[in-house]
Copies of this chain bind each other. A is one copy, B any other.
Amino acid sequence: MVKVLTDADIRRLAPEAAVEWMREAILAAHTGRLQTPPRVSADLGDGKLVFTTGALTGEWYGYRSYDSFDTDPGSQLVVVHDWHTGAVRDVAIGNELGPRRVGAIGAVAVDALANPDVTTLGLIGTGAQAWTQLWAIATVRQLSEVRVFSRDPVRRNAFSARVSAELGLPASPAESARDAVEGREIVVLATNSPTPVIEADWVAPGAYVTTLGPKQIGRAEFGPGLVARADVAVTDSVAQTSAYDPPFILTGTPQHDRLTSLGAVLAGDAPGRTTPDQTVIFCSVGLAGTEAFLLARLIERG
Protein backbone atom coordinates (compact mmCIF):
# COMPACT_ATOMS: atom_id res chain seq x y z
CA MET A 1 0.00 0.00 0.00
CA VAL A 2 1.30 3.43 -0.94
CA LYS A 3 1.64 5.86 1.94
CA VAL A 4 0.34 9.31 1.05
CA LEU A 5 2.06 12.10 2.95
CA THR A 6 0.16 15.26 3.79
CA ASP A 7 1.33 18.74 4.73
CA ALA A 8 1.28 17.72 8.40
CA ASP A 9 3.87 15.02 7.65
CA ILE A 10 6.06 17.35 5.60
CA ARG A 11 6.06 19.97 8.37
CA ARG A 12 7.88 17.47 10.57
CA LEU A 13 10.81 17.38 8.13
CA ALA A 14 14.05 18.45 9.83
CA PRO A 15 15.72 21.36 8.00
CA GLU A 16 19.21 19.89 8.48
CA ALA A 17 18.16 16.75 6.59
CA ALA A 18 16.39 18.73 3.85
CA VAL A 19 19.51 20.85 3.28
CA GLU A 20 21.74 17.78 3.14
CA TRP A 21 19.44 16.06 0.61
CA MET A 22 19.14 19.15 -1.58
CA ARG A 23 22.94 19.47 -1.63
CA GLU A 24 23.07 15.85 -2.75
CA ALA A 25 20.38 16.53 -5.42
CA ILE A 26 22.13 19.59 -6.84
CA LEU A 27 25.40 17.66 -7.11
CA ALA A 28 23.62 14.70 -8.71
CA ALA A 29 22.08 17.03 -11.31
CA HIS A 30 25.53 18.52 -11.98
CA THR A 31 27.08 15.09 -12.61
CA GLY A 32 24.11 13.97 -14.73
CA ARG A 33 22.88 11.27 -12.38
CA LEU A 34 19.74 13.29 -11.61
CA GLN A 35 17.82 13.93 -14.83
CA THR A 36 15.95 17.25 -14.74
CA PRO A 37 14.23 17.92 -18.09
CA PRO A 38 12.31 21.15 -18.75
CA ARG A 39 8.84 21.35 -17.25
CA VAL A 40 5.86 20.52 -19.49
CA SER A 41 2.34 21.89 -19.31
CA ALA A 42 -1.12 21.27 -20.76
CA ASP A 43 -3.50 24.14 -21.44
CA LEU A 44 -7.00 23.46 -20.15
CA GLY A 45 -8.53 26.76 -21.20
CA ASP A 46 -9.13 28.27 -17.77
CA GLY A 47 -5.67 27.32 -16.56
CA LYS A 48 -2.73 25.00 -17.03
CA LEU A 49 -1.56 21.81 -15.42
CA VAL A 50 2.23 21.86 -15.09
CA PHE A 51 4.54 18.90 -14.52
CA THR A 52 8.17 18.98 -13.42
CA THR A 53 9.87 15.63 -13.66
CA GLY A 54 13.08 13.99 -12.53
CA ALA A 55 14.86 10.66 -12.40
CA LEU A 56 17.73 9.48 -10.23
CA THR A 57 19.33 6.75 -12.31
CA GLY A 58 18.97 3.33 -10.70
CA GLU A 59 16.81 4.61 -7.81
CA TRP A 60 13.59 6.31 -8.89
CA TYR A 61 11.73 8.54 -11.33
CA GLY A 62 8.92 10.88 -10.53
CA TYR A 63 7.27 14.25 -10.85
CA ARG A 64 5.45 17.13 -9.23
CA SER A 65 2.14 18.44 -10.61
CA TYR A 66 0.74 21.89 -9.95
CA ASP A 67 -1.75 24.19 -11.63
CA SER A 68 -2.39 27.78 -12.62
CA PHE A 69 -6.17 27.68 -12.51
CA ASP A 70 -6.45 30.50 -10.03
CA THR A 71 -4.34 32.96 -8.08
CA ASP A 72 -4.96 30.62 -5.16
CA PRO A 73 -3.30 27.44 -6.40
CA GLY A 74 -4.66 23.95 -5.90
CA SER A 75 -2.94 21.12 -4.10
CA GLN A 76 0.25 19.79 -5.58
CA LEU A 77 1.18 16.14 -5.95
CA VAL A 78 4.67 14.72 -5.73
CA VAL A 79 5.05 11.15 -6.95
CA VAL A 80 8.06 8.80 -6.78
CA HIS A 81 8.21 5.53 -8.73
CA ASP A 82 10.67 2.72 -8.07
CA TRP A 83 13.25 2.76 -10.88
CA HIS A 84 13.28 -1.01 -11.35
CA THR A 85 9.62 -2.05 -10.99
CA GLY A 86 7.81 1.16 -11.98
CA ALA A 87 5.58 0.80 -8.93
CA VAL A 88 4.47 3.98 -7.17
CA ARG A 89 6.59 4.16 -4.03
CA ASP A 90 5.72 7.51 -2.46
CA VAL A 91 3.07 10.21 -2.87
CA ALA A 92 2.73 13.57 -1.14
CA ILE A 93 -0.35 15.77 -1.54
CA GLY A 94 -0.30 19.38 -0.41
CA ASN A 95 1.64 22.59 -0.69
CA GLU A 96 4.43 22.23 1.89
CA LEU A 97 6.98 20.13 0.03
CA GLY A 98 7.63 22.67 -2.74
CA PRO A 99 8.60 25.63 -0.51
CA ARG A 100 10.56 23.40 1.92
CA ARG A 101 12.70 22.18 -0.93
CA VAL A 102 13.22 25.72 -2.25
CA GLY A 103 14.18 26.78 1.29
CA ALA A 104 16.68 23.95 1.54
CA ILE A 105 18.17 24.82 -1.86
CA GLY A 106 18.41 28.42 -0.62
CA ALA A 107 20.37 27.28 2.42
CA VAL A 108 22.75 25.22 0.28
CA ALA A 109 23.36 28.38 -1.77
CA VAL A 110 23.91 30.57 1.33
CA ASP A 111 26.34 28.03 2.70
CA ALA A 112 28.30 27.98 -0.56
CA LEU A 113 28.16 31.69 -1.44
CA ALA A 114 27.66 33.94 1.60
CA ASN A 115 30.66 34.93 3.70
CA PRO A 116 31.24 32.33 6.43
CA ASP A 117 30.84 34.61 9.42
CA VAL A 118 27.65 36.47 8.44
CA THR A 119 24.94 36.85 11.09
CA THR A 120 22.46 39.46 9.80
CA LEU A 121 19.59 38.88 7.37
CA GLY A 122 17.05 41.19 5.76
CA LEU A 123 13.89 39.62 4.33
CA ILE A 124 11.27 41.10 2.02
CA GLY A 125 8.11 39.00 1.99
CA THR A 126 6.07 37.03 4.52
CA GLY A 127 4.70 34.09 2.53
CA ALA A 128 5.53 30.39 2.54
CA GLN A 129 8.74 30.92 0.56
CA ALA A 130 9.95 33.56 3.02
CA TRP A 131 9.26 31.22 5.92
CA THR A 132 11.07 28.19 4.53
CA GLN A 133 14.14 30.25 3.58
CA LEU A 134 14.59 31.22 7.24
CA TRP A 135 13.74 27.70 8.39
CA ALA A 136 16.61 26.32 6.29
CA ILE A 137 19.18 29.16 6.31
CA ALA A 138 19.23 29.07 10.13
CA THR A 139 20.91 25.65 9.87
CA VAL A 140 23.91 26.97 7.90
CA ARG A 141 24.51 30.42 9.51
CA GLN A 142 24.18 31.61 13.10
CA LEU A 143 21.69 34.47 12.70
CA SER A 144 21.83 37.25 15.30
CA GLU A 145 19.42 39.62 13.54
CA VAL A 146 16.52 39.01 11.12
CA ARG A 147 14.68 42.08 9.85
CA VAL A 148 11.38 41.50 8.04
CA PHE A 149 9.47 43.83 5.74
CA SER A 150 6.23 43.54 3.86
CA ARG A 151 3.85 46.33 2.91
CA ASP A 152 1.20 45.23 5.38
CA PRO A 153 2.27 46.09 8.97
CA VAL A 154 -0.05 43.47 10.41
CA ARG A 155 1.52 40.74 8.35
CA ARG A 156 5.14 41.72 8.99
CA ASN A 157 4.48 41.98 12.72
CA ALA A 158 2.74 38.61 12.85
CA PHE A 159 5.38 36.95 10.68
CA SER A 160 8.23 38.29 12.83
CA ALA A 161 6.54 37.12 15.99
CA ARG A 162 6.02 33.67 14.50
CA VAL A 163 9.64 33.43 13.32
CA SER A 164 10.82 34.30 16.83
CA ALA A 165 8.45 31.86 18.49
CA GLU A 166 8.65 28.88 16.15
CA LEU A 167 12.13 29.13 14.64
CA GLY A 168 13.78 30.73 17.66
CA LEU A 169 15.37 33.49 15.56
CA PRO A 170 15.81 37.12 16.69
CA ALA A 171 13.33 38.55 14.17
CA SER A 172 11.78 42.00 14.15
CA PRO A 173 9.58 43.91 11.72
CA ALA A 174 11.15 46.72 9.69
CA GLU A 175 9.39 50.00 8.91
CA SER A 176 10.55 50.00 5.31
CA ALA A 177 12.25 47.78 2.76
CA ARG A 178 15.33 49.96 3.08
CA ASP A 179 15.31 49.52 6.85
CA ALA A 180 15.18 45.72 6.36
CA VAL A 181 17.91 45.48 3.73
CA GLU A 182 20.44 48.24 4.35
CA GLY A 183 23.62 46.91 5.93
CA ARG A 184 22.42 43.26 6.08
CA GLU A 185 24.88 40.54 5.06
CA ILE A 186 22.21 38.23 3.68
CA VAL A 187 19.23 39.66 1.76
CA VAL A 188 16.28 37.45 0.82
CA LEU A 189 13.69 38.68 -1.68
CA ALA A 190 10.60 36.47 -1.46
CA THR A 191 7.81 38.47 -3.08
CA ASN A 192 5.48 38.13 -6.06
CA SER A 193 6.22 41.70 -7.09
CA PRO A 194 6.64 42.41 -10.81
CA THR A 195 8.43 45.69 -9.94
CA PRO A 196 11.57 46.27 -7.83
CA VAL A 197 11.06 46.16 -4.06
CA ILE A 198 14.59 47.33 -3.19
CA GLU A 199 17.21 49.75 -4.54
CA ALA A 200 20.61 48.41 -5.53
CA ASP A 201 22.52 50.92 -3.39
CA TRP A 202 20.86 49.67 -0.20
CA VAL A 203 22.76 46.40 -0.62
CA ALA A 204 26.05 46.41 1.35
CA PRO A 205 29.37 45.46 -0.25
CA GLY A 206 30.03 41.78 0.28
CA ALA A 207 26.35 41.01 0.69
CA TYR A 208 24.68 37.87 -0.55
CA VAL A 209 21.22 38.27 -2.17
CA THR A 210 18.73 35.46 -2.92
CA THR A 211 15.83 36.22 -5.25
CA LEU A 212 12.86 33.85 -5.17
CA GLY A 213 10.24 35.97 -6.93
CA PRO A 214 9.85 37.30 -10.49
CA LYS A 215 13.16 37.82 -12.30
CA GLN A 216 12.29 38.47 -15.91
CA ILE A 217 13.09 41.46 -18.09
CA GLY A 218 10.37 44.04 -17.35
CA ARG A 219 8.90 41.86 -14.59
CA ALA A 220 11.19 41.42 -11.60
CA GLU A 221 11.30 42.04 -7.87
CA PHE A 222 14.65 43.85 -8.32
CA GLY A 223 15.98 46.22 -10.94
CA PRO A 224 18.85 46.26 -13.45
CA GLY A 225 20.90 48.24 -10.90
CA LEU A 226 21.26 45.17 -8.69
CA VAL A 227 22.15 43.04 -11.69
CA ALA A 228 24.82 45.56 -12.72
CA ARG A 229 26.51 45.49 -9.34
CA ALA A 230 26.51 41.70 -8.91
CA ASP A 231 30.08 40.42 -9.02
CA VAL A 232 28.95 36.80 -9.02
CA ALA A 233 25.63 35.40 -10.34
CA VAL A 234 24.58 31.84 -9.59
CA THR A 235 21.41 29.80 -10.17
CA ASP A 236 20.25 26.30 -9.32
CA SER A 237 19.31 25.70 -12.99
CA VAL A 238 20.82 27.54 -15.93
CA ALA A 239 18.56 25.51 -18.24
CA GLN A 240 15.39 26.65 -16.46
CA THR A 241 16.37 30.33 -16.68
CA SER A 242 16.71 29.88 -20.47
CA ALA A 243 13.05 28.86 -20.70
CA TYR A 244 11.79 32.16 -19.23
CA ASP A 245 9.40 34.23 -21.36
CA PRO A 246 9.82 37.21 -21.05
CA PRO A 247 13.56 36.46 -20.82
CA PHE A 248 15.54 36.06 -17.60
CA ILE A 249 16.60 39.46 -16.24
CA LEU A 250 20.34 38.74 -16.61
CA THR A 251 19.94 38.04 -20.35
CA GLY A 252 22.07 40.43 -22.37
CA THR A 253 24.16 41.54 -19.38
CA PRO A 254 27.79 40.65 -18.55
CA GLN A 255 26.40 38.85 -15.47
CA HIS A 256 24.57 36.42 -17.72
CA ASP A 257 27.76 35.48 -19.53
CA ARG A 258 29.23 34.58 -16.15
CA LEU A 259 26.09 32.88 -14.79
CA THR A 260 27.20 29.82 -12.86
CA SER A 261 25.32 26.73 -11.79
CA LEU A 262 25.23 26.08 -8.05
CA GLY A 263 26.06 22.44 -8.78
CA ALA A 264 29.30 23.47 -10.48
CA VAL A 265 30.23 25.63 -7.46
CA LEU A 266 29.49 22.77 -5.05
CA ALA A 267 31.52 20.34 -7.14
CA GLY A 268 34.46 22.74 -7.33
CA ASP A 269 34.10 22.95 -11.12
CA ALA A 270 33.41 26.72 -11.08
CA PRO A 271 34.36 29.52 -8.72
CA GLY A 272 31.66 31.01 -6.51
CA ARG A 273 32.57 33.89 -4.24
CA THR A 274 36.33 34.53 -4.37
CA THR A 275 36.67 37.59 -2.12
CA PRO A 276 34.69 38.79 0.94
CA ASP A 277 33.70 42.10 -0.65
CA GLN A 278 31.99 40.63 -3.72
CA THR A 279 28.24 41.07 -4.08
CA VAL A 280 26.71 37.71 -4.95
CA ILE A 281 23.22 37.18 -6.36
CA PHE A 282 21.57 33.76 -6.25
CA CYS A 283 18.67 33.36 -8.65
CA SER A 284 16.52 30.59 -7.20
CA VAL A 285 14.43 28.91 -9.91
CA GLY A 286 13.51 25.62 -8.23
CA LEU A 287 15.63 22.95 -9.88
CA ALA A 288 13.26 20.36 -11.38
CA GLY A 289 13.29 16.88 -9.90
CA THR A 290 14.20 18.13 -6.43
CA GLU A 291 10.64 17.74 -5.11
CA ALA A 292 10.70 14.03 -5.94
CA PHE A 293 14.27 13.81 -4.60
CA LEU A 294 13.21 15.30 -1.26
CA LEU A 295 10.18 13.02 -0.97
CA ALA A 296 12.22 9.93 -1.89
CA ARG A 297 14.90 10.66 0.72
CA LEU A 298 12.35 11.59 3.36
CA ILE A 299 10.61 8.24 3.01
CA GLU A 300 13.86 6.27 2.78
CA ARG A 301 15.66 7.95 5.64
CA GLY A 302 13.19 10.15 7.52
A interface residues, Cβ below 8 angstroms from B: 1-2, 4, 6, 35, 37-47, 49, 51, 53-55, 57, 61, 63, 65, 67, 69-70, 72-75, 77, 79, 81-83, 85-88, 91, 93
A51's partner among B42, B72, B82, B91 (CB-CB below 8 A) is: B42
Nearest B residue to A38 via CB reads B42
Residues from chain B with a CB closer than 8 A to the CB of A37 are: 42-44
Residues from chain B with a CB closer than 8 A to the CB of A72 are: 86
CA gap between A42 and B284 in the complex, in Å: 22
Given known A-B contacts A42-B37, A45-B35, A49-B51, A69 and B61 have beta carbons under 8 A apart: yes
Nearest B residue to A43 via CB reads B37
Nearest CB of chain B from residue A68's CB, rounded to whole Å: 10
Nearest B residue to A85 via CB reads B74
Residues from chain B with a CB closer than 8 A to the CB of A49 are: 51, 53, 61, 63
Q: Please state if B41 and A35 are interface contacts (CB–CB under 8 Å).
A: no
28 sampled A-B residue pairs with Cβ under 8 A: A1-B6, A2-B4, A2-B93, A4-B4, A4-B91, A35-B45, A37-B42, A37-B43, A37-B44, A39-B42, A40-B40, A44-B54, A44-B55, A45-B55, A45-B57, A47-B55, A47-B61, A65-B65, A65-B79, A69-B83, A69-B86, A70-B86, A73-B86, A74-B85, A74-B86, A75-B81, A77-B77, A91-B93
Residues from chain B with a CB closer than 8 A to the CB of A40 are: 40-42, 51
Q: Please state if A77 and B88 are interface contacts (CB–CB under 8 Å).
A: yes
Residues from chain B with a CB closer than 8 A to the CB of A85 are: 74
Residues from chain B with a CB closer than 8 A to the CB of A54 are: 44
CA gap between A6 and B87 in the complex, in Å: 12
Nearest B residue to A45 via CB reads B35
Q: Please state if A86 and B81 are interface contacts (CB–CB under 8 Å).
A: no
Nearest B residue to A288 via CB reads B42
Nearest CB of chain B from residue A242's CB, rounded to whole Å: 16
Residues from chain B with a CB closer than 8 A to the CB of A39 are: 42
Nearest CB of chain B from residue A34's CB, rounded to whole Å: 10
